[in-house]
Amino acid sequence: MPKVGVRLRPDEAWKVIGSAHTGILTTLRRDGVPMALPVWFVVRDQVVYFRTPARSRKAARVGNDPRASFLVESGRRWAELEAVHLTGRADIVDDDDLVSLVAADFEQKYAPFRTPRAEMPPATREHYEVAKVTIRFVPDDHIVSWDNRRLGVG
């Protein structure tokens, strides 16, 4: 009986990442404890970008230790599970042109999902109406992936 593989080819993995809505970014606290948080993101040339308030702990953690990982997943049943996990390094983007391109990508991808500012409580609106930074996550060459649908189990 032939061996059935669930691993995705790199091009397939990037397609899964690019089509995902929300990812999980893991960064490290100063004491080394990992912090995994859901994030909206965009992909440009196999690099993942996030936006966050400039004074956020996420931005501070990236500034203190660039090691990070990123995960997207989907599927409700075991036979449907699909995921891609990347490890790499993150930094704050200081190129204004790139920041503008990423901001446009975010607008295109997430505008339909944003809550209008007028519908937010004032404290929430104030929290998000601050200076933002763009974080760039550059993965290393190691991609961990699987697609259990390839097993053909109903």
Q: What is the pTM of this model?
A: 0.91
Give the tens place of pLDDT for each residue, 125-135: 888 889 999 99
d(CA 126, CA 29): 26
d(CA 151, CA 153): 6
Q: Please, which residues have CB within 8 angstroms of residue 131's CB and are 6 or more apart in sequence?
A: 53, 54, 55
d(CA 97, CA 62): 21
d(CA 75, CA 140): 26
Q: Check if the beta carbon of residue 36 is closer than 8 Å to that of residue 25.
A: yes
Give the tens place of pLDDT for each residue, 54-111: 999 999 999 999 999 999 999 999 999 999 999 999 999 999 999 999 999 999 999 9
Cα 74–chain centre separation: 14
- State the Cα angle at 85 between 146 and 32, rounded to 5°: 145
